[in-house]
Structure 1
Amino acid sequence: MGIFKTCSFRRSASPAAADNQPNSKNSSASLCGEKRLLKESKMKDQILMKLVNSRLASPENVFRWEANIIGPANCPFENGDFAVSIHIPTSYPFKPPKITFITKIFHPNVNKKGEISIDILGSQWSPSLRIDLVLLSICSVLSNPVEPFVPGNPAVMLYQQDRNAYEKIARMWTLEFANA
């Protein structure tokens, strides 16, 4: 709730004035997103920090973050260090961020470009979600893939038909690409 208190939408006296004023609704939404993201970037949870390390890519741009996700225990990605890129729209928190794996990963919810297919980054996005919580959810999905899976992804068929073979390849990729 505290994150939302800093957001306010100002209205100009006339529609024509709104076009020329930085106080238009779009500017206010962007300012709201900036304030919230600055606050979120300073939040540090000790439990979360063991699994996710997120940071602003540049102090000049709060809409661009980087993070590293540590593969959770007891899964093929255990102890892997996976770099992700986070692009946050100026309409945040009303629109979800776009989070992409930079580190190559063999997973049913990640396509070959590193794009992640999970509902909270799409149809189930909620303004109550924060970047750190989304990253924690992605960490959870590493050990427990969720449908819908990425169509045409070779990891999907293997995951569904031969879990041992899937886990073997995922472990190999983790060792090779995630510096585990």
Structure 2
Amino acid sequence: MTDRSASGFDLTPPSPTQLATLEHGLTDEEKRVLLNHGTEAPFCGTLLEEKRAGAFCCRLCGLPLFKSVEKFESGTGWPSFTAPYDPDHLKLVRDTSYGMVRVETRCARCDSHQGHVFPDGPPPSGERYCINSVALTFTPEGEALPDPLDRGDGLASAAI
């Protein structure tokens, strides 16, 4: 039996073998951010200026995390979103590192670090999901979502 999100995506975590394969394909910077909870430098991420319609997916496992319609310019130097693709696709974790209290966002399927969510976003949500570009991939509208786990359920191959 699989664990499915409200939008129908498989949330079953990758097996240890699948996870090792996915991690093997990461750059050093992607490993630092996704696996070791790092942060990329502001204003240098490749997806900061991405304005096309589509979905922003987890770089590690391919789960769609944000829709482009939720992206906004926050001026912070990182891609910012007002809401997730599906609330089931993110895990929110209290983060007390660096002497601050924040809410970390992680991919609900593979547990990779994505960024943080803050209560200073625009209406209607008032939330700002501040996400590392290196933690995401972008899939333009009309193209198939990535399926690095290749579970054969047909869900990830559906066009957005």
TM-score (normalised: structure 1) = 0.23
Of Structure 1 and Structure 2, the greater strand share is in 2
TM-score (normalised: structure 2) = 0.25
Radius of gyration: which is bigger? 1
